[in-house]
Chain A
Amino acid sequence: MMRGYVRADGRKGIRNTIVVAYLVECAHHVAREIALPFRHKGVHVIGFAGCYPNGYADAMMRKLCTHPNVGAVLLVSLGCESFNRAGLMQHVEASGRPAHLAVIQDIGGTKKTIAEGQSWIQWTLDELRQTPMADMAMSELVVGTICGGSDATSGLTANPAMGRAFDRLITEGAACIFEELGELIGCEAHMEERAVAPELAAEIRHSMDKAGRYYQAMGHASFAPGNAEGGLSTIEEKSMGAYAKSGAAPITGLLKPGDVPPTGGLYLMDMVPDGDPLYGFPNINDNAEIGELIACGSHVILFSTGRGSVVGSAISPVIKVCANADTYRRLADDMDVDAGRILEGRGTLDEVGAEIHSWILRVAEGEQTASESLGHQEFVLQYKTFEPIGPGCLPLVHRRVPVAPAATSSP
């Protein structure tokens, strides 16, 4: 049985991380210095670099600072940036978590802020040992998936194997999220068929049309000659390689970054900004996508890679599923699952799918992933704009996790 840290909103976490969040790049160094001695003690740095306000970044920071894997939050502000630090502080305090705001200009500079921040963390580490834990059901687990550093093996081994793990998790009641609409162009019709309701199918089509326009405006070609050399014949086939991560379950709903799945089932996250392309590429790198999956409540991330990405993430552990056996041998320390062995006749898609499934359970029970034990805590948050999701996006059911009043966290 999984055990989770009990949070006041009714959700449970599989980690009890202290987040040190800088509220502008000018406070990043101080935040990093505060966290440095504690980086192997579950203290992670996140933050927003921009000085100008942005509704998306504000909402993302609120979601991340109250993520179920987060036990306490230290906000590090320079003082003159425009981030709404009081609003974020209030939001975190209302969630029942220990929180502290350190404003560098008020405290008196770098040295004093580092000292104050570190002594607060020392105190909070002790405090967090008291966090109540309780049995955690599969229906309380949220898993996100992403691929990065893909090669021709990704769509043959790691992605379809992760899809098999997703299918099993969904049968057991978990919520699973897939994303990256740009890599799904060509699969629209199939996704619409998988949608549980016609209203949802229409929302998916709307999001995919937006993605098509957006990526075209960014000058992104979908199908390159190199794809055909690798054996891919059509844009549908190329996209299916990434889409295979989603498995075969019906699509239950459509989310945007920060929307938490209200039930178990398979969810598509629309991460393409709404409106004109104002701020460049939808996601500047893999970690921007991971951050958004985590903001949707993902406790753990499945990451498929062929060429060999080494990244992890702040807040939620990343399980690295390596599609290419040569890459696995070369970067073994960074990988968790050797899916490339399928091509060498040392395993089947079903077997690797079962191994990924058991990895998720072990990580949820506290076992460290490769990137976690190596100290990877990558994080990036950029400027974006989103409209709220439409009425057809979510299933018409009650929240599976009741929202409890903030004061009921210690049974």
Chain B
Amino acid sequence: MMPTQSTAAPSGGPDAQRAGDDPRILRLSPRDNVAPLKTRARRGEAMLIAGQPFVLREDVAVGHKIAVVPIAAGTRILKYGAPIGSATADIEPGQRVHTHNMKSDYIPTYTHDRPSNVGAAR
């Protein structure tokens, strides 16, 4: 597999897509520090992220996401321009981001004022 990819977005459109991105990367918002992949990519393949080459350390399936900038442990993970959790380890660009290195920050407040009988078996 050739590591070099075209540096322009497939359509050439500006989008959230950056010049120097591998076309397999789908940037959903310019604010994001992660991006899902449009197609499966394999371990050992090189991938350009904002002009910088990175080698994938593991297989990444369609829709799974990689870091597009360095992410320090504890940092909020941004996708769609919104926080979807936070990093539990330092993550380098090109590294896969999933349940092994990030966690949910969601606290369900609805349980706070929940009457004790709601949700009981009926």
Partner-B contacts on A (CB < 8 A) = 152-153, 156, 160, 185-190, 205, 208-213, 216-217, 228, 230-231, 233-237, 240, 243-244, 248, 276, 342-351
Contacts and interface: CB of A to CB of B under 8 A. Distances in A.
Contacts of B77: 233
Nearest to A191: B82
Nearest to B97: A233
B34 to A, nearest CB: 9
Contacts of B15: 348-351
Interface in B71-122: 77, 79-85, 97-99, 102-106, 108-111, 113-114, 118-119
Contacts of B79: 237, 240
B106 A236 contact: yes
Contacts of B118: 213, 216-217, 276
A230 B65 CA distance: 10
Contacts of B109: 188, 205, 209, 212
A351 B39 contact: no
B10 A346 contact: yes
B28 interface: yes
Given A217-B119, A233-B99, A212 B65 contact: no
Contact of A234 (B9, B39, B102): B102
Nearest to A215: B110
Contacts of B61: 231
Contact of B11 (A205, A237, A348): A348
Contacts of A230: 63
Contacts of A349: 15-16, 26, 28
Contact of A343 (B14, B39, B103): B39
A240 B63 contact: no
B115 to A, nearest CB: 8
Contact of B106 (A186, A209, A217, A343): A186
Contact of B108 (A185, A234, A276, A351): A185
Interface of B: 9-11, 13-17, 23, 26, 28, 36, 38-39, 61-65, 77, 79-85, 97-99, 102-106, 108-111, 113-114, 118-119
Query: Which of B28, B82, B108 has most A Cβ within 10 Å?
Result: B82
A266 to B, nearest CB: 15
B11 A243 contact: no
A344 B64 CA distance: 16
Nearest to B64: A231
A228 B110 contact: no
A236 B105 contact: yes
Given A213-B118, A217-B119, A342-B26, 4 more contacts: A185-B108, A186-B106, A233-B97, A349-B15
A228 B82 contact: no
A33 B119 CA distance: 44
Given A217-B119, A237-B79, A231 B65 contact: yes
A291 B49 CA distance: 44
Contacts of A216: 110, 114, 118-119
B80 A240 contact: yes
Contacts of A344: 38
A43 B103 CA distance: 52
B16 to A, nearest CB: 7
B102 to A, nearest CB: 5
A12 to B, nearest CB: 34
Contacts of B39: 343
